Amino acid sequence: MQKHKLLIIEDDDTLRVQMQWALAEMYDVLPAAEPEAALQALQSAQPSLVTLDLGLPPNPSDASAGFRLLGKILQHSPLAKIIVVTGNSGRELAMKAISQGAHDFMVKPVDIDELKIILKRALYIHSLESEQARVQHARESRDFEEILGLSAGMQDVFSTIRKVAATDVPVLVTGESGTGKELVARAIHHDSIRKSRPFVPINCGAIPETLLESELFGHERGAFTGAHAQRSGRIEMAQGGTLFLDEIADLPLPLQVKVLRFLQDHKIERVGGRGSINMDVRVVAAANKCLKKLVMEGKFREDLYYRLGVVNIEVPPLRERGEDIVLLAKAFLNRYSATSPRQKALSAEAVDTINAYNWPGNVRELENRVRRAVTFAEGSLVRPSDLGFGPADETGQNLDLKKAKEDLELKFVQMAIIKHNGNISKAAEELGLSRPTVHHIIKKYNMLESVRKG
């Protein structure tokens, strides 16, 4: 694990060497005897921690050089934690330094054990503030409601959202359950000229088939038993805005025909109605199943598939998002502990567990576990048990399960590629995966040789 950088600014050669030797095992130590050398090290190394002797050349008996350097350090690295080192007679100067931005102080002669504790505490605060700054930067840079991600996969998603939001083309959002497909749809809507108009979601798999047509298209009074009044459907409710068809793969075939006609003609008829209604609605659909495979099986209309998927956005699973996992966990922790009596933070063990886990439920599972942790964590630190994970031996089993899953993934993709003579499209169809996902797996396991042999 890479060490954090510590800049020691001390003109006493003996003390500087002593501190460097004592702290080298814990930190990447950068020694400096005077302000110019300190500023050079600051600019080149960007240290997280600084110890600063206020009495520096050219006038060691005067603290003015130390205070000037303190201001320059904070101007260059506002998140750096500065520990002022001063003599017994310099307590008043140390307090002044803290009022001007120093983190803490200690009195000479330096007690190394005490200094280690002060530095450890300062580094913990630095880590929290740095992570908060990263989260804020991610929020400001993405310009999308509720979506957070710095990984390459999510940056591709953001780039596509920006491009399609300015158009009215239908968009198909694909990805595993819990990856945040509805958030992508909302981001497209909120970044478009339709943002002041309604965003209307409907889950095609959550409504009984007998009610779904009426729910989508509305009905006239007396159209069926219980239809006591005219009722607008979800499509009408979205007039001028965006209709989000979630779990579109579960749409029954007869209704697929009607949705296709609506996409072609931009008109609808209510159930029991005799006239058509002109509609100005942008459609975004989502699926956690491979629609292309369903088309081949005759369970989804090919013409509707191509109508919906003018642009396809694939949201990567959480396990493939690297640094985003802990970033999201900390963002959820900040959100849910805001109403808690005490601000919570992730322990080192919790971070390790989060990174080791495979997250089959994706972002939704992560959010639920963090929300649980805010309730169960007794102190300020969230531990693996607060997140609902078992003891260390059970966490080890998660790692084994992950390895077993990877072995199975490798085996099946190899078999499919060999079976289809290296044709990635056909292999992807049989596996129920997208071509980009198969290409990712090939690269992940260095399977180029298998593809060539196929």
CATH of the domain at 332: 1.10.8.60
Domain end among 314, 346, 379? 314
Q: Model-level pTM greater than 0.85?
A: no
Domain end among 286, 314, 342? 314
β-bridge partners, 32: 9
**Do residue 304 and residue 171 come from a single domain?**
yes
Distances (CA, A) of 186 to 195, 250, 251, 418, 428: 9, 21, 21, 40, 29
Residue 52 lies in a domain: yes
CATH of the domain at 16: 3.40.50.2300
CATH of the domain at 195: 3.40.50.300
- Max CA distance (Å), the chain: 95
Alpha carbons 212 and 262: distance in angstroms, whole number = 15
Tell me the torsion sign for CA atoms 388, 393, 395, 400: negative
Residue 235 lies in a domain: yes
Structural domain count, the chain: 4
Residue 144 lies in a domain: no
**Do residue 266 and residue 329 come from a single domain?**
no
Residue 395 lies in a domain: no
CB-count exposure of residue 378 (10 Å: 0-12, 13-18, 19+): exposed
Element (H, E) at 278: strand 277-278
**Do residue 118 and residue 234 come from a single domain?**
no
**Do residue 254 and residue 330 come from a single domain?**
no
**Do residue 167 and residue 227 come from a single domain?**
yes
Q: Which of 303, 386, 367 is nearest to 329 (CA)?
A: 367
Per DSSP, the residues of 379-406 read SSEE-GGGGT---HHHHHHHHHHHHHHH
Residue 232 lies in a domain: yes
Residue indicated by tokens 């002593």: 18
Question: Is residue 419 a contact partner of residue 430, using CB atoms and an 8 Å limit?
Answer: yes
Residue 105 lies in a domain: yes
Q: Which of 89, 51, 44 is nearest to 69 (CA)?
A: 51
**Do residue 161 and residue 307 come from a single domain?**
yes
**Do residue 179 and residue 102 come from a single domain?**
no
**Do residue 61 and residue 181 come from a single domain?**
no
Residue 251 lies in a domain: yes
Residue 145 lies in a domain: no
Helix ranges (H only) for 309-423 are: 324-337, 348-356, 362-376, 392-419
Rounded-to-10 torsion of CA 298, 300, 303, 308: -160
**Do residue 386 and residue 411 come from a single domain?**
no
Question: Is residue 429 a contact partner of residue 296, using CB atoms and an 8 Å limit?
Answer: yes
Domain end among 250, 285, 314? 314
Question: Is residue 143 a contact partner of residue 121, using CB atoms and an 8 Å limit?
Answer: no
pLDDT tens, per residue, the chain with 454 residues: 578 999 999 999 999 999 999 999 999 999 999 999 999 999 999 999 999 998 888 888 788 888 999 999 998 888 899 999 987 667 888 888 888 889 999 888 889 999 999 999 899 888 877 876 666 555 555 445 568 888 889 989 999 999 999 899 999 999 999 999 999 999 999 989 999 999 999 999 888 888 899 999 988 887 777 777 888 899 999 999 999 999 999 999 999 999 999 999 999 998 888 888 999 999 999 999 999 999 999 999 999 999 999 999 999 999 999 888 998 998 899 888 877 777 788 888 898 899 889 999 999 999 999 999 998 888 888 999 999 987 643 444 444 556 667 777 777 787 777 777 777 888 888 888 888 788 778 877 766 554 544 4
**Do residue 183 and residue 283 come from a single domain?**
yes
Q: Which pair of tokens denotes residue 140?
A: 């400001």
β-bridge partners, 227: none
Helix ranges (H only) for 48-201 are: 64-76, 91-99, 112-142, 152-165, 181-190
Alpha carbons 239 and 280: distance in angstroms, whole number = 6
**Do residue 26 and residue 79 come from a single domain?**
yes
Residue 221's domain comprises 152-314
For residue 174, how many C-alpha atoms fall within 13 Å in the half-sphere facing its CB? 20
How crowded is residue 451: how many other Cβ atoms within 10 Å of its Cβ?
19
**Do residue 104 and residue 225 come from a single domain?**
no
Prior bond of 341 cis (ω within 30°): no
